[in-house]
Structure 1
Amino acid sequence: MLEAMTSSDHVLEQPAVPTAFDEFAERLDFRLDDFQSRACRALESGHGVLVCAPTGAGKTIVGEFAVHLALAGGTKCFYTTPIKALSNQKYHDLVEVHGEAAIGLLTGDTSINSDAPIVVMTTEVVRNMIYARSPALRGLSHVVMDEVHFLADRFRGAVWEEVILHLEPSVRVVSLSATVSNAEEFGDWIQTVRGDTTVIVDEHRPVPLSQHMLVGNRLFDLFDPHPDGHGGRAKVNPELKRHIRHKILLAEEHDDRRGGRRSGRGRGGGRGGGLPRPQVVARLEREGLLPAIGFIFSRVGCDAALAQCLRSGLHLLTPEQVAEVDEVVDRHLTELSPADADILGVEEWRAGLRRGFAAHHAGLLPTFRHTVEELFVRGLVRMVFATETLALGINMPARSVVLERLVKFNGEAHVDLSPGEFTQLTGRAGRRGIDVEGHAVVVWTPEIVPEQVAGLAGARTFPLRSSFAPEYNMAVNLLGRLGLEGSRDLLNRSFAQFQADRSVVGDARKLDEQSVRLRRLDVQLITAAEMRGIDPGVVTGGPDGPDDPDADHSHGDGPDGDDPYRGFLGYITLREDIRRREREVRFERRTNTHENIAAELAALKRGAVIGLQGGRHRGLAVVLETAGQPADPRPLVLVEDGWCGRVGVRDFVNPPEVLGGMRLPKNPDRRTGRGRRDLASALRSTGIEVPKGRSRKRATAGEDAELVRLRQRLRAHPAHTIDGADDLFRLAEQRNRVLRDIVNIERRIGERTSTLGVTFDHIVGVLSELGYVEYVKGAVQVTPTGRLLSRIYSESDLLVTECIRAGVWDRLGPADLAAVVASMVFESRRESYSGADAMPGNTALRTAIAETVEIWRDLTTVENRHRVTPTREPDTGFSIAVSLWVSGRSLAESLAAAGERGQLLSPGDFVRWNRQVVDLLEQIRLGVGDDSPLAASARSAVGSIRRGVVAAELS
């Protein structure tokens, strides 16, 4: 019999049972930071977590704890990343800790131990599993979404939201993000769609980051090392600013001595090839700032920088380190044949590594990139020139990061780096446990202003914006799983809609405020009118007044009841319309004059004599060189006072008029003072004169018809004769401004709340017309063809399915099928024509390409009718190359056939595009079923692609 204990009884304390977190922390050889501990404990308590912390802070520890929890609990964990390189790296990291039996890898073209309890994969793979209702999802307890801020990516970001929305409620999502300024908003959304989620934000960098600028051969702190102590934003180093001003003045004096800047050159010379990279590296080495990553936003730029350094004779490694490099390189290249090694330039690449230099970008063979990554981590590559993809979580921390430019090409245009991108890139600087601080170095060029760099460095965070948008494959999968209403509900639960609704809340509040203000102004107007004995109906023009001051009032007068200018408020609207039209007319005239001047400047011939009326130089001028750029024509002229330089649109009030001509020597001497004086004397001796009075004469146009009509109506309006009504005028103008605000806010609200739903309905319209979905008793159902589309995950998913459906690929052999499938995935880096007649010789392939393009044309007609963004045109730029490769031809022949405009496709791109062809071929095989001839051809093509360097990278 048990007896109750009294307070006097002596109780022996039992030892606390260690928790999963205690066990996890115990095996680490370092102490966890506070944010890591809080996130792990929240996860152990059954919460989902969102962790936002700087690059290099150690966020992935939380993901690794999710792996630990799954293994300890006998459940599954998926560890997802945005790119295959990260998945491969994470797979090897986890294998080191848990062994090969416990870890799997799935990246579309690679499958290793896929039934393991822990599987590392790209985010697209888990999305596809969800839509396919894969049995692999059974027992899933945790999903880690590394680099979750990638959902802002405009091309692939929607996948992250699809996964978060579709996972079973029991699955705990571990979201790891770079520091974003709206982490709470993102966390609120995740909590709304996933349930209990702990948001943990940590902005502390474990290794402090110092910001510098390298000007010539001098390294400056970016910020003032002696601040005034009054707080606020740090100021730019004044010594840095003085030094830059001095360099600019010296460069200008040098140009003046040479007779002006040379055409096509900016201050301080060109960029790219002219940048002294070896001097930059040498300076970094002297300052003890190696190893370093030099971020250059093009592959060609990375290779050029590497070549510059190798020509310089710089050596950064000891003989002992060179021997280590050889060992690592030999280990990575065991599967390359001598012939392929020769084609790939292995010896030249090895020569750079043996001196401590490397390039890192997607154009390199993946084996080369992996070798560079290992050597860098081991301290055997001291300077690597890389594109920005290296900053996306790849484990290559450096002591320093170097930026040559603050502009990059985003696929459509050259744009300034955002604060978030700057933070992501410079975040690679500073190795935890090795460096006391990291260093970010911006190399100065005349285009870079220190204040711009300070603005990027000072803005530590960036907002996360959703890129979620419905597409064909997503639509049929949503409809198949959830039906029409369920699909719309899911779209309404997306982060994109969540953000739109949040902004709508603010706009709705503004709408309420402006509506109250409008009513108050109406009362004030009527009261002020009554005080003057004016009928309130005259003020408002009737019970309703004008509905929209932004409406088009330029059409006719209509009957009195429809007159938009009736009443006092209508009179105010009439005045505003006159001011608006006057602005438009002035703008149109300025634009027309600007365009006319540009056209005349572009048309000027060598030897033409014109008159200059504006700027510092006036009088006769002869054209020595024609304009050049049509968009901004700037002919080189010599003026009769001896000045020589380029003139542009801003130097003319009216279009230039050719007054005559002058015979010029073949190579007129304009660089010496004597030569310019002789040319000026010859110009004056022509006897040509600038006509008197033309300098101030402006081109005039007839009165604008609409302005004439509006002014006539103003003078005839009854309110035009009201005296002493300034307060009424002022109140009425305020009322119209408020009414315009209300109209604009209502328009914004309508756009934000309907975009996703409208896009989805348009897509469903396309799918319905083409027979992928059908309406049965008022409900939308997915047809068998729609189920095929649901298994095709490609940018051209609907086109691929249409081609399969039409049977145009059924009779193709493996090589031809691979070629036509390549046209679905390949995208040329340069604009080039690649239609069916670009395919030499092969009649079957030419026919298949032609039929595919015809199906594409028909599809885009349907898409345009439903106002859906058209599917991109097939691109055959890689088709011949993959056809040759599948046929067994050599790497050299296949690479040569993949060239664009005479430039060979890089080995890395060759492997990457082959991977994508394999991925889509496998989707087609699984979609059509193994019994069909198309599936057999796809299976054979995949087997033939998997050889040589491609097989090595797919294994």
Structure 2
Amino acid sequence: MSSPAESYARARRRNSHRELAEFTDQLDFALDPFQIEACEALEGGHGVLVCAPTGAGKTIVGEFAVHLALAEGSSCAYTTPIKALSNQKYADLVRRYGPEQVGLLTGDNSINPSAPILVMTTEVLRNMLYVGSETIDRLRYVVMDEVHYLADRFRGAVWEEVIIHLPEQVRLVSLSATVSNSEEFGQWLQSVRGDTAVIVSDERPVPLWQHMLVGKRLYDLLAEHGGDESQTRRREVNPELVRASREQLQRLGGWRGDRHRWRPTRRTDVVTTLDRQGLLPAIYFIFSRAGCDAAVEQCRAHGDRLLEPEDRALVREIAERHTAELSASDLDVLGYWEWLDALEMGYAAHHAGLIPAFKETVEELFVRGLCKVVFATETLALGINMPARSVVLERLVKFNGETHQRLTPGEYTQLTGRAGRRGIDIEGHAVTLWSPDVNPTEVATLATTRTFRLRSSFEPTYNMAVNLVGQIGRAASKRLLERSFAQFQADRSVVGLVRQRDEALAETRQDLTEVHCERGDVREYAELRRELTALERDSSKTRSDIARREVATSLARLRRGAIVHVPSGKHRGYAVVLDSRAEQGETVLRVLNTQRWSGKVDGRAFHGWVEPVETLKVPKNFNPRAPQARRDLAAELARRTAGMSPGRRRPRERGPDTSRIDELRERLRSHPVHSCPDRDEHVREFENARAAERKAAKLEAKVAARTSSLGHTFEAIFGVLVELGYLDPSGEPGSVTEAGALLSRLWSESDLLVAEAVRSDAWSELTAADLAAVVSALVYEPRGGDGFDTVNVPVGSRRVRTALGDLTARWRALNEVTASHGAPAIRQPEPGFALAAYRWVSGDSLGAVLSNLTQAGFEISPGDFVRWCRQVIDLLEQIGRLDTAIATLAQSAAASMRRGVLADPTERQLIDEAYDEASETDSGKVHTT
């Protein structure tokens, strides 16, 4: 029972925050303090930045923004980084407010676009801002879920573009994972968006326990000391775990162990251990798609069923619903029956190599508790709402596309943050598997370190520059870009550089005051000495270079029988040349000397021009391996050279700097400081001052570069766009040419190359299949650097090959222009997906396309096939919306790709799915995990 004071405080809060009170009345759980603080700030008219751990319930604040928008009769955009999250949030909001109030815009789907609540990917909102959509005028709230994505080096710039460009009347709700520089990020938001409340919570709603599995035994990772909860605890590695780890290493015979003898714990044994400990459902992270699929197959072959018979029937029903649009032949190609068998046993894989229908099935089953173990790559940690009771990390190393790297503390926290389901579990569990190269101390460091620093990845692009200049002009665009988080962080880092620069300047002044000689000017004397030293060094290098060239030229002129003097090396003395040959670009002599040695001599044995002192006839049948032949020829060589002088070396010409060196030496000797007994000390003091001066100059250059780095990039891009005819040189608002208007509607990493190809009418003779193949080269990036042999393997029609060649030529020409301005380079076209796109648009089945690729030596998973096709579709549809001759062709190509595994869910299907899930919730209440 509440005290009178608590009741009074609660009543006062309800009166001052009526909308929050109405919102919380609809929930079946109480809000946490950080959620209340954020919602109150939002209702009070502030923007908010909420940083909290995964699963803490940040989205409640975003949902309250939706509530406020509806209460005010305004609009709210709820943005997410990926389409799967948008679909998920759309379903959540439809369950709560009904389909009439909610719309979905993801590029693939456009449902009810005039609704007051619009769920969309962040890219869609960015594009709406640039084209001046009327929807923007209605917005009063924008929720940016997973805003820490702005650190993503490929897509992060989109978040900053949106934050900077949103109209002033929009209140921003930024939801982020816990970051260590939340205060810095909040300060930037305040600088560009105005009043912003920063709310940070480090508390997980469900406590997380850390473990290591050694063999089949589960150990606590940390030992806690200190009894009273109010006291600070000292967390150390569990000594029992350390002992067990040491014993394992000793069995393997060494500090790091013999990996050839070590065998990792079988995945089936890990699952069995988790099941016995009551730690299922679990997400089992394996940083390999093939590893995830293999783990599912191992568990399926092992035969342990984790689901009851009645659950298996429901699993089949859900799987069939998600795959209803796929043909029987497609299902066979996808391994549907083996996949379904594993699902009915309680096992599944989740990674980018699966088609969306399979991934969505696994996600629904897991949320419903009908999938007990998901073997996943790290992509599952990026936002999808699939919390588990426990998380397993098989390794602490993952491949980043180029190299294998250890997990960072931030990555470890992101992965293990999935453990512990709010409202279901009282605690979550993170389990790391022991191996010879994973010691408990390392895992403890990862588990207890909280350093995930948010760093901007923002850079201006060609499309961005055209849109900005068109709207606000060149000067204002540059100022706006300099308001980015990237520039904000650069400017803050400059503070430290300025301090270092000032210290270096002060050191310079101090050192210069200490440089003094009563006999003369130390600076003048030191400069003379420095110039002389540099000239002598260069002259010496020049003489060495001349000598090497002389040796190389003269050795190449020597013929069989020439007698030469070898001045250095183990076999120095007179020798007769048996033959000469070029090895690795240098001439090598095979000789016989007076000591009967026969072997190779190269240019390193000579110091200058090599002139024969005499010649000696070498028998045609001479065999250097025959001892008698060597003795006879060596004796004749000794007789010929007895008493002979090696001869004088050919004099070299004096170098061009010789007279200057002589002059400087004379000036140095006659300088007053030269006679000072402390002259070397004086020069040393002066050189210290010069070093400090150089350091200050370098720091000054860094300060200048950082304080205007984005501005320089923008100016370089502006120069490229003017030269190519996309912008008028005036740079005034609206100074966008017809070509610039085309570029402004192309959002692609290869935006400028796409625009160049489209405006040149280079694709007018292509078919729909041809165009899909060529456009694929503008989006496709091979995994792990795997290329595709387009020289010897077909890529479609002859027209495709010609168009790809033209595209590459345009890319080279473009990069010459960008390089001349110092602007960002354009990504090279990659034709590795051209054959797949061509065959699919031509009407081949999924099985035929994948088989065709395999025969061409190109392996691709069905999930990757779908993913790249969707990116091709997206770019085709952008081209299809342009006012060009090929717009209709591009639309046709995109439409031809949307079939089978690429068919999108209809509006009715998405709404039905939302209501299917709603039927399982209590009427009138919403439970958010």
TM-score (norm 2): 0.77
Matched, 1:896 2:851: yes
Instruction: Give the secondary-structure state (helix, strand or coil) at the position aligned to 1:775.
Output: coil
Q: Which residue of 1 aligns with 2:573?
A: none
Instruction: Please say if residues 818 and 921 of structure 1, whose CA atoms lie closer than 8 Å, have aligned partners that are also in contact.
Output: yes
Report the CA distance between 1:790 and its aligned residue. Answer: 0.6
Instruction: Give the secondary-structure state (helix, strand or coil) at the position aligned to 2:332.
Output: helix
Q: Note the residue ranges of structure 2 that are not aligned, 5 or more in a row.
A: 1-11, 542-660, 908-929
Matched, 1:948 2:900: yes
Structure 1 pair 304–923 and aligned structure 2 pair: CA distance change class (3 A) = same
Instruction: Please say if residues 224 and 234 of structure 2, whose CA atoms lie closer than 8 Å, have aligned partners that are also in contact.
Output: no
Give deviations 1:253-295, integer Å, cap 9, x for gaps: 8999xxxx7xxxx35447xxx5511111111112211111111
Structure 1 pair 922–535 and aligned structure 2 pair: CA distance change class (3 A) = same
Structure 1 pair 435–721 and aligned structure 2 pair: CA distance change class (3 A) = farther
Q: Which residue of 1 aligns with 2:518?
A: 535
Find the aligned partners of 1:416 and 1:83 in 2 and give their Cα distance: 26
1:309 alignment partner, one of 287, 290, 299: 299
Structure 1 pair 794–108 and aligned structure 2 pair: CA distance change class (3 A) = same
Report the CA distance between 1:831 and its aligned residue. Answer: 2.3
Instruction: Give the secondary-structure state (helix, strand or coil) at the position aligned to 2:204.
Output: coil
2:475 alignment partner, one of 485, 497, 511: 485
Deviates more, 1:894-903 or 1:505-514: 894-903
Q: Which amino acid aligns with 2:162?
A: V
Instruction: Please say if residues 357 and 383 of structure 1, whose CA atoms lie closer than 8 Å, have aligned partners that are also in contact.
Output: yes
Report the CA distance between 1:816 and its aligned residue. Answer: 1.5
Q: Which residue of 2 aligns with 1:907?
A: 862
Q: Which amino acid aligns with 2:847?
A: A
1:867 alignment partner, one of 807, 810, 822: 822
Q: Which residue of 2 aligns with 1:833?
A: 788
Instruction: Please say if residues 83 and 121 of structure 2, whose CA atoms lie closer than 8 Å, have aligned partners that are also in contact.
Output: yes
Alignment of 1:812-823 (within 5 A): 812-823=766-777
Q: Which residue of 2 aligns with 1:184?
A: 183
Find the aligned partners of 1:871 and 1:513 in 2 and give their Cα distance: 41
% same residue: 55
Report the CA distance between 1:238 and its aligned residue. Answer: 2.4
Instruction: Please say if residues 336 and 949 of structure 1, whose CA atoms lie closer than 8 Å, have aligned partners that are also in contact.
Output: yes
1:809 alignment partner, one of 742, 746, 763: 763
Find the aligned partners of 1:380 and 1:126 in 2 and give their Cα distance: 35
Find the aligned partners of 1:834 and 1:503 in 2 and give their Cα distance: 45
Structure 1 pair 402–308 and aligned structure 2 pair: CA distance change class (3 A) = same
Q: Which residue of 2 aligns with 1:422?
A: 412
Matched, 1:251 2:205: no
Length, aligned pairs only: 773
Instruction: Give the secondary-structure state (helix, strand or coil) at the position aligned to 2:140.
Output: strand
Matched, 1:136 2:135: yes
Matched, 1:444 2:434: yes
Q: Which residue of 2 aligns with 1:628?
A: none
Find the aligned partners of 1:255 and 1:176 in 2 and give their Cα distance: 42
Give deviations 1:544-591, integer Å, cap 9, x for gaps: x879x9x99963279xxxxxxxxxxxxxxxxxxxxxx9xxxxxxxxxx
Alignment of 1:375-524 (within 5 A): 375-523=365-513
Report the CA distance between 1:366 and its aligned residue. Answer: 0.8
Q: Which residue of 2 aligns with 1:59?
A: 58
Deviates more, 1:45-54 or 1:411-420: 411-420
Deviates more, 1:116-125 or 1:323-332: 323-332
Report the CA distance between 1:189 and its aligned residue. Answer: 0.6
Deviates more, 1:155-164 or 1:18-27: 18-27
Q: Which amino acid aligns with 1:400?
A: S
Q: Which residue of 2 aligns with 1:764?
A: 718
Instruction: Give the secondary-structure state (helix, strand or coil) at the position aligned to 2:168.
Output: coil
Instruction: Please say if residues 409 and 450 of structure 2, whose CA atoms lie closer than 8 Å, have aligned partners that are also in contact.
Output: yes
Instruction: Give the secondary-structure state (helix, strand or coil) at the position aligned to 2:392.
Output: strand
Find the aligned partners of 2:428 and 2:463 in 1 and give their Cα distance: 45
Q: Which residue of 2 aligns with 1:156?
A: 155
Report the CA distance between 1:211 and its aligned residue. Answer: 1.2
Give deviations 1:228-254, integer Å, cap 9, x for gaps: 999686222222222222211211289
Instruction: Please say if residues 399 and 439 of structure 1, whose CA atoms lie closer than 8 Å, have aligned partners that are also in contact.
Output: yes
Structure 1 pair 718–536 and aligned structure 2 pair: CA distance change class (3 A) = closer
Report the CA distance between 1:741 and its aligned residue. Answer: 4.2
Instruction: Please say if residues 123 and 159 of structure 1, whose CA atoms lie closer than 8 Å, have aligned partners that are also in contact.
Output: yes
Instruction: Please say if residues 224 and 236 of structure 2, whose CA atoms lie closer than 8 Å, have aligned partners that are also in contact.
Output: no
Deviates more, 1:829-838 or 1:236-245: 829-838
Find the aligned partners of 1:878 and 1:312 in 2 and give their Cα distance: 37
Q: Which amino acid aligns with 2:778?
A: M
Matched, 1:277 2:267: yes
Instruction: Please say if residues 103 and 112 of structure 2, whose CA atoms lie closer than 8 Å, have aligned partners that are also in contact.
Output: yes
Find the aligned partners of 1:762 and 1:351 in 2 and give their Cα distance: 57
Matched, 1:928 2:929: no
Q: Which residue of 2 aligns with 1:321?
A: 311
Find the aligned partners of 1:497 and 1:900 in 2 and give their Cα distance: 49
Report the CA distance between 1:438 and its aligned residue. Answer: 1.0
Instruction: Give the secondary-structure state (helix, strand or coil) at the position aligned to 2:235.
Output: coil
Give deviations 1:118-164, integer Å, cap 9, x for gaps: 11111110000011111121211011101101001111100100000
Instruction: Please say if residues 179 and 461 of structure 1, whose CA atoms lie closer than 8 Å, have aligned partners that are also in contact.
Output: no
Alignment of 1:620-635 (within 5 A): none
Q: Which residue of 2 aligns with 1:236?
A: 237
Q: Which amino acid aligns with 1:782?
A: V
Q: Which residue of 2 aligns with 1:849?
A: 804
Structure 1 pair 508–288 and aligned structure 2 pair: CA distance change class (3 A) = same
Find the aligned partners of 1:536 and 1:282 in 2 and give their Cα distance: 89
Q: Which residue of 2 aligns with 1:799?
A: 753
Give deviations 1:584-623, integer Å, cap 9, x for gaps: xxxxxxxxxxxxxxxxxxxxxxxxxxxxxxxxxxxxxxxx
Instruction: Please say if residues 366 and 953 of structure 1, whose CA atoms lie closer than 8 Å, have aligned partners that are also in contact.
Output: no
Structure 1 pair 255–905 and aligned structure 2 pair: CA distance change class (3 A) = closer
Deviates more, 1:456-465 or 1:60-69: 456-465
Q: Note the residue ranges of structure 1 that are not aligned, 5 or more in a row.
A: 1-12, 559-580, 582-708
Report the CA distance between 1:176 and its aligned residue. Answer: 0.5
Instruction: Give the secondary-structure state (helix, strand or coil) at the position aligned to 2:305.
Output: coil
Report the CA distance between 1:845 and its aligned residue. Answer: 2.5
Q: Which amino acid aligns with 1:319?
A: P
Instruction: Please say if residues 837 and 846 of structure 1, whose CA atoms lie closer than 8 Å, have aligned partners that are also in contact.
Output: no
Q: Which residue of 2 aligns with 1:561?
A: none
Larger radius of gyration: 2
Structure of greater relative contact order (alpha carbons < 8 Å, 6+ residues apart):
2
Structure 1 pair 299–556 and aligned structure 2 pair: CA distance change class (3 A) = same
Deviates more, 1:89-98 or 1:816-825: 816-825
Report the CA distance between 1:899 and its aligned residue. Answer: 4.3
Structure 1 pair 427–840 and aligned structure 2 pair: CA distance change class (3 A) = closer
Find the aligned partners of 1:463 and 1:536 in 2 and give their Cα distance: 58
Q: Which residue of 2 aligns with 1:698?
A: none
Deviates more, 1:459-468 or 1:167-176: 459-468
Give deviations 1:277-328, integer Å, cap 9, x for gaps: 1111111112211111111222112112222222222222222322222222
Report the CA distance between 1:117 and its aligned residue. Answer: 0.9
CA RMSD of superposed structures (Å): 3.5
Q: Which amino acid aligns with 1:751?
A: A
Structure 1 pair 461–56 and aligned structure 2 pair: CA distance change class (3 A) = farther
Q: Which residue of 1 aligns with 2:921?
A: none
Alignment of 1:722-801 (within 5 A): 735=689, 738-739=692-693, 741-776=695-730, 781-801=735-755
Q: Which residue of 2 aligns with 1:195?
A: 194
Find the aligned partners of 2:375 and 2:527 in 1 and give their Cα distance: 64
TM-score (norm 1): 0.75
Report the CA distance between 1:836 and its aligned residue. Answer: 6.8
Q: Which amino acid aligns with 1:926?
A: R
Instruction: Please say if residues 773 and 795 of structure 2, whose CA atoms lie closer than 8 Å, have aligned partners that are also in contact.
Output: no
Report the CA distance between 1:721 and its aligned residue. Answer: 8.3
Find the aligned partners of 1:745 and 1:129 in 2 and give their Cα distance: 42
Report the CA distance between 1:114 and its aligned residue. Answer: 1.4
Structure 1 pair 241–255 and aligned structure 2 pair: CA distance change class (3 A) = closer
Find the aligned partners of 1:102 and 1:335 in 2 and give their Cα distance: 28
Instruction: Please say if residues 757 and 807 of structure 2, whose CA atoms lie closer than 8 Å, have aligned partners that are also in contact.
Output: yes
